[in-house]
Amino acid sequence: IEQSAYQNDKLAMLGKIAAAIAHEIRNPLTSIRGFIQLLRPHLAQLGKDEYARIVIDEIDRANDIIYEFLNSSKPSTPNKKKIVVGDLLKEVTLLFESEAILKGCDIELDPVDPAMTICVDVKQMKQALLNIVKNSLDAVGGSDRTERGMIRISAHQQGAKAMISVQDNGTGMDFHTQSKLFDPFFTTKMEGTGLGLAVCYRIIKNHGGNIQVDSEVGDGTRFKITMPLC
């Protein structure tokens, strides 16, 4: 399944909108933050310093969200570093451990050859993998699933490439969903954005890699990512 230029245009457009909104919202946030700082001593005299602290913390949080959103939608040149594939996958697996326990599913990382390295922007690559594993967690988590949820992550060398696989025994996807899943804004979830896999696709392509999906309704899904070795 190839992503068309049209889909890339949509992501580029989203990046521009996000940048414009971020710019317009950051300015008022900065002045609100400044004025609260000025008011702080007065609020402290009234015994209300706690309120000022909350306002400042919340402004900082809003700024962080804008920054994160901007980062995820704006294409950026990868800042490549050599990383051991197993280490990257271990970190991603660890990040989902608590969520997996809460959902009553297993997330397993097969042993990976420690000599296998790829040259990638670690932050971007981590984000791409997080988006994929997050979807697997959503797919195995439904209350209608009788089988215990299982997500298996593995990596093997394939010629001059590293092949990373994320496999789940979740809901699976019909053909229509499979043909649309990398489209920006395509989602089948009540609260989905449809951005996860579009961003993932762009990151992987930017690194000279590839992403493929095998899926069967009721059986599960497997994403295969190939990345050039270092």
Q: Which stretch binds ligand ADP (CB under 6 A): 3-11, 27-35, 107-115, 171-179?
A: 171-179
User: 80 by DSSP, 3-state: which?
Assistant: coil
Residue 90: which of 72, 107, 74 has the closest Cα? Answer: 107
Give residue for tokens 């939608």: 73
Range 123-134 burial, b when 16+ CB lie within 10 A, else e: ebbbbbbbbbbe
Residue 204 within binding range of ligand ADP, rule CB under 6 A: no
Q: Which of 86, 120, 163, 168 binds ligand ADP (CB under 6 A)?
A: 168
Report 103-162 residues binding ligand ADP (CB under 6 A): 131, 135-136, 139
Question: Quick one: tokens of 169?
Answer: 């025994």
Residue 201 within binding range of ligand ADP, rule CB under 6 A: no
Q: Which of 188, 205, 224, 228 binds ligand ADP (CB under 6 A)?
A: 188
CA angle, 136 as apex, 15 and 100 as ends, to 5°?
115
Residue 11 within binding range of ligand ADP, rule CB under 6 A: no
Residue 163: which of 108, 123, 201, 113 has the closest Cα? Answer: 113
How far apart are the C-alpha atoms of 199 and 141, rounded to whole Å?
A: 23
Residue 7 within binding range of ligand ADP, rule CB under 6 A: no
Range 15-37 burial, b when 16+ CB lie within 10 A, else e: beebeeebeeeeeebeeebeebe
Q: Which stretch binds ligand ADP (CB under 6 A): 3-11, 106-114, 156-164, 169-177?
A: 169-177
- Per 3-state DSSP, what percentage of the chain is helix, strand, and coil (rounded to 5)? 55, 20, 25
Q: Which of 37, 189, 216, 217 binds ligand ADP (CB under 6 A)?
A: 189
How far apart are the C-alpha atoms of 23 and 110, rounded to whole Å?
A: 44
Nearer of residues 117 and 170 to ligand ADP, judged by Cβ: 170
Nearer of residues 16 and 176 to ligand ADP, judged by Cβ: 176
Q: Interface mask (CB under 6 A) for ligand ADP, residues 210-229, using x and -?
A: -----------x--------
CB of 207 to ligand ADP, least distance (A): 18
How far apart are the C-alpha atoms of 132 and 135, rounded to whole Å?
A: 5
Residue 78 within binding range of ligand ADP, rule CB under 6 A: no
Q: Which stretch binds ligand ADP (CB under 6 A): 8-16, 116-124, 163-171, 203-211?
A: 163-171
- Residues in contact with ligand ADP by CB under 6 A are 131, 135-136, 139, 168, 170-171, 173, 177, 181, 186-189, 192-198, 221
